[in-house]
Amino acid sequence: MSSREFTEWLAYDRLAPFGVERSDINAAIIAMTVARVMGGNNLLGIEDFLPRFNAPEDTEERMLRIAVRMHKALGGRVRGERALALMDD
């Protein structure tokens, strides 16, 4: 492959990405759509379904906040003082 062809492929990838990163985005869109169809109320966004590489380790509070948002988005009732406190954030 020539340098010119390689440069053209790089430019094409910037305009219409392909590969693993693009597949993650497509899968996240599908997962978000399924969650919304199953009764979600648009609290969940695509970023909630994208994998996070090299992210800091999740804290218990962050994981609980995500679980509360997903549970509420799917129509569940949130109970417990700790979970209710996280809903306001």
Spatial separation of the C-alpha atoms in residues 2 and 86, rounded to whole Å: 55
Range with the lowest mean pLDDT among 1-5, 16-20, 56-60, 63-67? 16-20
Q: What is the pTM of this model?
A: 0.46
Q: What is the pLDDT of residue 30?
A: 92
pLDDT in tens, 23-69: 888 899 999 998 888 877 677 888 888 887 776 777 888 788 888 88
Spatial separation of the C-alpha atoms in residues 78 and 25, rounded to whole Å: 29
Spatial separation of the C-alpha atoms in residues 58 and 38, rounded to whole Å: 27
